[in-house]
Amino acid sequence: MKVGLFIPCYIDQFYPQVAIATYQLLKKLGCEVFYPSNQTCCGQPMANSGFSNLTKGCDINFVKNFKGFDYIVAPSGSCVLHIKEHLKDGDNPIELEKIRHRMYELSEFLLDVLKIKHLKASFPHKVGMHVSCHGQRGLHLSSMSELVAPAYSKTEQLLNMVEGLQLLIPERTDECCGFGGTFCVFEEAVSVKMGKDRINEHLLNHVEYICGGDTSCLMHMEGILKRQELGVKTIHFAEILNSEL
Amino acid sequence: MIVKQHAEAAQEFIKDEARTDWHDETLWFVRHKRDKAVNTLPEWESLREWASQIKNHTLSNLDHYLKNFEERAISNGIIVHWASDAEEHNRIIHKIIADNKIDKIVKSKSMLTEECHLNDYLKSRGVKILDTDLGEYIVQLREESPSHIVLPAIHLKRQDVSATFHEHLKTEEGNFDPQYLASTARHHLRERFVESELAITGVNFAIAETGSFVVCTNEGNADMGVHAADIHIACMGIEKLIPKTEHLGVFLRLLARSATGQPITTYSSHFNKPRQGQQMHVVIVDNGRSRQLGRPDFRNSLKCIRCAACFNTCPVYRRSGGHSYHSTVAGPIGSILNPNLDMKANSDLPFASTLCGSCTNVCPVKIDIHDQLWKWRQQIVANGYVTSGKKAGMNGMAWVLSNPKLYRLSGTIVRWVMRKFPLVVNNRLNVWYKQREMPAAPEKSFRDWFKENQET
């Protein structure tokens, strides 16, 4: 099984540990993992700001790097959703369709494709669950509090396989953290207030870590946690799943 | 008057953090009530789907249903008027008032009349209207606009209401007992209902097959006004139609649960024909709606039944208040409706969202609100309503991210600068840094690590 590893640009540059954990985890689970070395960004920062006309370069580069894999996996619901919904390449319509269908966020790949039932991982800590909106409401990685539907969560299902981990859910189970791409600077006041409110709910649960599937949300909350010297850390679920006994 | 953009107005709103928390929690409480109510109906998601399909069908055959409605309404004895815009709507109502020499007018809640700025139009012509919905009454006394389409005075605490009533209704200073305040308002409103000569209402649903319409209130104020006055004017947008009476059950079940978590509004008043000696008018208003109907990406925003569930769930609305949207209809739905009315003036609104998608999920008629916010952003930029700074920034970013070598070089340099000279980024010019630390800049990118470790 040839798996193309897509590492979002800001993870590549600022959170390589998330990418390393994803890579090692996939290797451990028997995947043949390839990292196309000329990859950059999915184009979402421009498109979500209203400049989808400027994503052509990113789109073409993405298709060039990721054609031909059985699966493409990324540790980010948001970037995966962008690829599935907005990737364009007029010259390669067939490749484009293939890429869209082969694109997976890490938790859905682990559960729906690899169908893993257990993991050898240990993380004896109190972990607060942060649900990222695009993975949840866009990719349906978990049930949504607004809908009348059975409850499930792919990320929680995976974290429950980890030894010693105590998972704690905030009262507002799936409220947005306020990152929102360029929203975080153009609407700075609301963005930070939303982040603070999310963090406060986790603090009530006395968590040691806030865990999620999108490093962008975590980066935003980490920035607030560090500024306020609250001692709580953020962590991507891939890092937890990759933590050895 | 300079209208503040959403981000700036929101920043001011948030300065009072305790009040922001109160606003957020009050509206979250309503969202929570809605959740409890909808979870009592196993068929909830099917109801949403039916409502969506009924509205889609109606919008696709709107000309037909409008004509049907008009025909039946006229045969019921209702006088039907057509207004292409707000000005015409206001002119029609003013003419009815002038022709009948009326000066005692009550109005129940109608967001359409707010959208058309009817009160201001009539005031400048010497005609005064009294808003009888309690929330609307409060904001009218304060000369403010509603901050929420269902809960117009939700931005006010009872202390604020007490001060307003003390000033205007001579209530005891410092007495903010809700029951005392409500009964004072009721006493004042009751006198005005009794003496009213003309009552204006909105329309929640107009039924094409019968030519009748339904007005939903919790206070009974629409009925009070209409029953006392000799003239009833009901104002409706062209999108308020549903084909048949049997469809009403779907919408009434959805509306109250979505709006306030009630199983049904306290009063769902059906108006079929004028009583003996009464004049009943319906003003059917376009005001940009047919233009929106002609926009394939945005037409289904006209399915909206004005429940405001998207307001209550929106984490941005709850923390920025309705007035920060500088429009009659605030919140996520307002942010996709208002650019149609004036794209330039409302070019900030589609950006007042994280695109979290909660609005789309609570919408009882399944409007893809967050997708439309994304699409409006594209339209707004394409029409040039964007600062040159943002445009230059986006062009620069796109250029770097389109070139793998340049991307890697830029990344290496930025990380090096952040490590060696952190003050270059950790300063006042960096908006992120105002209340958040920057991420740590590692020496190696993942790609660097991968090149060194892939064989191990």
CA distances from B258 to B145, B156, B313 (A): 23, 22, 10
Same domain, A73 and A133: no
Please name the helix (run of DSSP H) or strand (run of DSSP E) that holds residue B213, with its range, or none. Answer: strand B212-217
Question: pLDDT at residue B455 above 60?
Answer: no
Q: What angle do CA B295, B212, B305 make, to 5 degrees?
A: 40
Cα–Cα distance measured from residue B318 to residue B322, given in angstroms and rounded to the nearest whole number: 8
Nearest chain B residue (CA) to A49: B377
Say if CB B300 and CB B97 are below 8 A apart. Answer: no
Same domain, A101 and A192: no
pLDDT digits (tens, 9 = 90+) for B276-292: 999 999 999 999 999 99
Instruction: Judge: B394–A220 Cβ closer than 8 Å, yes or no.
Output: no
| Mean of pLDDT values over B187-204 | 96
Nearest chain B residue (CA) to A178: B354
Report CA dihedral (B219, B223, B226, B229) to the nearest 10 degrees. -80
pLDDT digits (tens, 9 = 90+) for B214-248: 999 999 999 999 999 999 999 999 999 999 999 99
The residues that bridge with A4 in the sheet, in sequence order, are: A34, A72
Phi, psi at A67, each rounded to 5°: -80, 150
| Mean of pLDDT values over B61-67 | 98
- Confidence band of B1 (pLDDT split at 50, 70, 90): low
Residue A168 placed within a domain:
yes
- Confidence band of B3 (pLDDT split at 50, 70, 90): confident
Could you tell me the residue range of the domain that residue A12 belongs to? Answer: 2-113
B361, B401, B406, B416: best mutation site toward chain A, by most A Cβ within 10 Å? B401
**Letter for the amino acid at B332?**
P
pLDDT digits (tens, 9 = 90+) for A103-162: 999 999 999 999 999 999 999 999 999 999 999 999 999 999 999 999 999 999 999 999
Chain B residue numbers touching A13 (CB-CB < 8 A): 411, 414-415, 442, 445
* Of the residues A80, A113, A146, the one at which a domain ends: A113
Chain B residue numbers touching A192 (CB-CB < 8 A): 434-436
Chain A residue numbers touching B319 (CB-CB < 8 A): 190, 193-194, 197
Going edge to edge, which strands form the sheet with A103-105? Answer: A32-34, A2-5, A71-74, A103-105
Number of domains in chain A: 2
**Inter-chain CB pairs, A–B, below 8 Å:** 211
DSSP secondary structure of A168-229: E--SSTT---S-TTTHHHHTHHHHHHHHHHHHHHHHHTT-SEEEES-HHHHHHHHHHHHHTT
pLDDT digits (tens, 9 = 90+) for B22-58: 999 999 999 999 999 999 999 999 999 999 999 999 9
Instruction: Judge: B14–A20 Cβ closer than 8 Å, yes or no.
Output: no
* Of the residues A84, A113, A142, the one at which a domain ends: A113
Six token digits for residue B23:
């606003």
Neighbour tally for B92: CB within 10 Å: 18
Cα–Cα distance measured from residue B109 to residue B133, given in angstroms and rounded to the nearest whole number: 6
Nearest chain A residue (CA) to B383: A50
Cα–Cα distance measured from residue B437 to residue A227, given in angstroms and rounded to the nearest whole number: 6
pLDDT digits (tens, 9 = 90+) for B103-115: 999 999 999 999 9
* Of the residues A52, A79, A113, the one at which a domain ends: A113
Closest CA to A3 of A104, A122, A135, A120: A104
Residue A231 placed within a domain:
yes
pLDDT digits (tens, 9 = 90+) for A217-227: 999 999 999 99
Q: Nearest CB to B374: which of A48, A58, A227?
A: A48
Chain B residue numbers touching A89 (CB-CB < 8 A): none
A137, A187, A191: best mutation site toward chain B, by most B Cβ within 10 Å? A187
Residue B276 contacts by C-beta under 8 Å, 6 or more apart in sequence? none
Same domain, A131 and A198: yes
Same domain, A62 and A101: yes
Six token digits for residue B100:
């009948």
Same domain, A237 and A135: yes
Residue A33 placed within a domain:
yes
| Mean of pLDDT values over B301-328 | 98
Say if CB A51 and CB B394 are below 8 A apart. Answer: yes
Instruction: Judge: A43–B434 Cβ closer than 8 Å, yes or no.
Output: no
Q: What angle do CA A95, A99, A100 make, to 5 degrees?
A: 120
Alpha helix (H) residue ranges in B39-110:
44-60, 62-75, 86-99
Q: Which of residues 67-126 of A touch B (CB under 8 A)?
A: none
Residue A120 placed within a domain:
no
- Confidence band of A244 (pLDDT split at 50, 70, 90): confident
User: Any idea what the CATH number is for the domain that residue A20 is in?
Assistant: 3.40.50
Residue A11 placed within a domain:
yes
Cα–Cα distance measured from residue B310 to residue B217, given in angstroms and rounded to the nearest whole number: 19
Question: pLDDT at residue A245 above 90?
Answer: no
pLDDT digits (tens, 9 = 90+) for A180-220: 999 999 999 999 999 999 999 999 999 999 999 999 999 99
Please name the helix (run of DSSP H) or strand (run of DSSP E) that holds residue B236, with its range, or none. Answer: strand B231-237
Alpha helix (H) residue ranges in B309-425:
309-313, 315-318, 331-341, 358-362, 369-382, 388-402, 404-420
Question: pLDDT at residue B368 above 70?
Answer: yes
Nearest chain A residue (CA) to B5: A187
Question: pLDDT at residue B132 above 70?
Answer: yes
pLDDT of B178 = 94
Cα–Cα distance measured from residue B382 to residue B395, given in angstroms and rounded to the nearest whole number: 14
Closest CA to A177 of A140, A139, A208, A134: A134
Same domain, A56 and A22: yes
Residue A53 placed within a domain:
yes
Question: pLDDT at residue B454 above 80?
Answer: no
pTM for the predicted model, two decimal places: 0.97
Neighbour tally for B429: CB within 10 Å: 8
Closest CA to B230 of B125, B129, B104: B104
Min distance A169 CA to chain B CA atoms (Å): 17
Cα–Cα distance measured from residue B169 to residue B183, given in angstroms and rounded to the nearest whole number: 12
pLDDT of A136 = 97
Question: pLDDT at residue B153 above 60?
Answer: yes
Quote the ipTM score. Answer: 0.97
Chain B residue numbers touching A141 (CB-CB < 8 A): none
Instruction: Judge: B11–A11 Cβ closer than 8 Å, yes or no.
Output: no
Chain A residue numbers touching B49 (CB-CB < 8 A): none
What domains are defined for chain B? 1-40+309-386 (no CATH), 58-287 (3.40.50.10420), 391-453 (no CATH)
Same domain, A130 and A237: yes
Same domain, A30 and A106: yes
pLDDT of B2 = 75
Same domain, A100 and A131: no
Residue A119 placed within a domain:
no
Closest CA to B66 of B233, B301, B243, B265: B243
Same domain, A95 and A130: no
Question: pLDDT at residue B386 above 60?
Answer: yes
Residue A87 placed within a domain:
yes
Same domain, A106 and A142: no
Same domain, A34 and A73: yes
Q: Regarding predicted confidence, which is higher, A28 or A92?
A: A28
Instruction: Judge: A48–B355 Cβ closer than 8 Å, yes or no.
Output: yes
CA atoms within 13 A on the CB side of A64: 14
